[in-house]
């Protein structure tokens, strides 16, 4: 027997960011302290099947599910015990789940909801924070209500666009203007995001974004601007890291610039005046708290040449690859990758305890 904490890394998932998750999870698995944790790797296929990898297994070369076992979580409070489909029975308790799933069906509160129903402790934002953080429309509404500066934007439903493209284009031209950015409301890694320089390019961008979601966000371009990111860590009193900066190798920080072309520059610390840096850190924490985030988040900004700052988005499960900004910004701030994971696990247990203090049922005062 072992007195090690049993942690389970969830990776893959049913989203356009499946491949990115494999890379993130590989880095997380490589940096979890094996002396402190018994580590399980659970992959979710694009079809949604959960596979527990054989010991030491995980994403890498070749099919990671080979030699694995089909498992699931049941939506009944079972203290985070996995259910083995081959044996038809529960396995041992998983102390902390670490969802390293990017995008819909993983970062958006769906898996978090299942973890809640299963009574499990898990790293990162809960259902509300995850759902709001994933939905760019809701996220911006919450940010605005919290007094955070955002770029001018509007949303159009895919159906509305399809029924009246001319009318919708006129509305976009009048409300936002060009150049603008068109994005599916819920995704990440720039999947489905286009820069639109003039009205003639709009239809293609709307159709692309509409492939991924039934609501489409159209946003004024912040260019010229610096793209600045700041990592946040904590629960009730979150801390902000030294901000970093991205200089996209392509026209904007698109999927290719992020993962394929390897032509973007990551600069830590970001080239900001002390005043702007302090403001970015303050806004990062306020954005984190505005959506009731827990554990971790990366908050992304546009900083204009006049020093004005716009909050672009919050990522509740930021990239964790070896070259990702979230672990790199903490490293620059004095917290190495393994210590960062230790802290996230501690925070998950802490929040799990905090939640257990709330009563679920009505009690006579
Ligand atoms: N309003 C904007 N002004 C300038 N650039 C933008 C704007 N919105 C998005 N971008 C560019 O597109 C990239 C992806 O957009 P983002 O909203 O961050 O989507 P994702 O969630 O997919 O990362 C950004 O990193 C940036 O390079
Ligand atoms: Mg982004």
319 in catalytic set = yes
315 in catalytic set = yes
Higher per-residue pLDDT: 358 or 284? 284
Long-range contacts of 245-254 (CB under 8 A, 24+ apart): 245/269, 245/270, 245/271, 245/272, 246/325, 251/195, 252/181, 252/190, 252/193, 252/195, 252/223, 253/190, 253/227, 254/190, 254/193
Determine if ligand 1 sits within 6 Å of the CB of residue 222.
yes
Q: Which protein residue's CA is at the shortest distance from atom 15 of ligand 1?
A: 190
189 in catalytic set = yes
Q: Which protein residue's CA is at the shortest distance from atom 1 of ligand 1?
A: 221
Give the position, in ligand 1's atom list, of the atom nearest the Cα of 225.
4
**pLDDT score recorded for residue 1:** 52
Cα of 346 vs centre of ligand 2, distance in Å, is 27
Interacting residues of 62 by C-beta distance below 8 A, sequence separation 6+: none
* pTM of this structure: 0.96
308 in catalytic set = no
Instruction: Name the band, by pLDDT with cuts 50, 70 and 90, for residue 80.
Output: very high
**CA 98 – CA 124 distance, rounded (Å):** 8
Instruction: Name the band, by pLDDT with cuts 50, 70 and 90, for residue 280.
Output: very high
**pLDDT score recorded for residue 2:** 65
Interacting residues of 271 by C-beta distance below 8 A, sequence separation 6+: 226, 245
Q: What is the rounded average pLDDT of the residues 168-195? A: 94
Cα of 83 vs centre of ligand 2, distance in Å, is 35
Per-residue pLDDT tens digits for 99-114:
999 999 999 999 999 9
Q: Could you say which of 14, 16, 17, 68 is catalytic?
A: 17
Q: Does the pLDDT at position 46 exceed 90? A: yes
Per-residue pLDDT tens digits for 188-232:
788 899 999 999 999 999 999 999 999 999 999 999 999 999 999
Higher per-residue pLDDT: 228 or 257? 228
Determine if ligand 1 sits within 6 Å of the CB of residue 168.
no
**pLDDT score recorded for residue 358:** 86
HEC per residue, the chain: CCCCEEEEEEEECCCCCHHHHHHHHHHHHHHCCCCCEEEEEEEECCCCCEEECCCCCCCCCCCCCCCCEEEECCCCCCCCEEEECCCCEEEEECCEEEECCCCCCCCCCHHHHHHHHCCCCECCCCHHHHHHHHCHHHHHHHHHHCCCCCCCEEEEEHHHHHHCHHHHHHHHHHHCCCCEEEEECCCCCCCCCEEECCHHHHHHHHHHHHHHCCEEEEEECCCCCEEEEEEEEECCCCEECCCEEEECCCCCCCHHHHHHCCCCEEECCCCCCHHHHHHHHHHHHHHHHHCCCCEEEEEEEEECCCCCEEEEEEECCCCCCCCCHHHHHHHHCCCCHHHHHHHHHHHHHHHHHHHHCCCCCCCCC
Q: What is the rounded average pLDDT of the residues 7-26? A: 94
Among residues 293, 348, 289, the alpha carbon closest in space to that of 315 is found at: 293
Q: What is the rounded average pLDDT of the residues 233-244? A: 98
Q: Could you say which of 313, 324, 326, 342 is catalytic?
A: 313
Cα of 22 vs centre of ligand 1, distance in Å, is 23
Given strand 81-84, what is the order of strands in its sheet? 89-93, 81-84, 69-72, 50-52, 37-44, 5-12, 96-99
Q: Does the pLDDT at position 50 exceed 70? A: yes
């Amino acid at each position: 027997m072992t007195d090690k904490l049993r942690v389970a890394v969830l990776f893959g998932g049913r989203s356009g960011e499946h491949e990115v998750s494999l890379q993130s999870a590989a880095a997380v698995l490589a940096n979890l302290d094996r002396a402190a944790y018994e580590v399980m790797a659970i992959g979710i296929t694009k079809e949604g099947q959960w596979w527990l990898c054989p010991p030491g297994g995980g994403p890498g070369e070749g099919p990671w599910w080979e030699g694995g076992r089909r498992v699931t979580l049941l939506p009944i409070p079972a203290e985070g015990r996995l259910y083995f489909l081959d044996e038809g029975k529960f396995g041992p308790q998983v102390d902390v789940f670490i969802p390293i799933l990017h995008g819909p069906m993983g970062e958006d509160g769906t898996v978090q909801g299942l973890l809640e129903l299963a009574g499990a402790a898990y790293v990162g934002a809960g259902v509300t924070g995850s759902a709001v953080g994933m939905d760019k429309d809701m996220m911006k509404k919450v940010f605005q209500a919290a007094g955070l500066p955002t770029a001018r934007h509007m949303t159009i439903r895919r159906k509305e666009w399809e029924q009246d493209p001319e009318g919708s284009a006129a509305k976009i031209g009048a409300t936002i203007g060009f150049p603008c950015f068109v994005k599916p409301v819920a995704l990440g890694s720039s999947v489905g995001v286009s820069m639109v320089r003039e009205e003639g390019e709009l239809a293609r961008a709307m159709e692309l974004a509409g492939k991924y979601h039934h609501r489409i966000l159209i946003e004024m371009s912040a260019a010229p601007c610096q793209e600045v990111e700041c990592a946040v860590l904590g629960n009730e009193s979150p801390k902000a890291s030294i901000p970093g900066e991205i200089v996209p190798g392509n026209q904007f920080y698109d999927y290719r610039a992020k993962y394929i072309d390897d032509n973007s520059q990551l600069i830590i610390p970001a080239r900001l005046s002390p005043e702007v840096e302090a403001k970015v850190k303050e806004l990062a924490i306020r954005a984190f708290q505005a959506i009731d985030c827990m554990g971790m988040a990366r908050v992304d900004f546009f900083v204009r040449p006049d020093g004005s700052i716009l909050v672009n988005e919050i990522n509740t499960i930021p990239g964790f690859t070896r070259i990702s900004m979230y672990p790199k910004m903490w490293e620059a701030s004095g917290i190495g990758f393994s210590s960062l994971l230790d802290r996230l696990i501690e925070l998950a247990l802490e929040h799990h305890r905090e939640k257990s203090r709330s009563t679920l049922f009505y009690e006579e005062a």
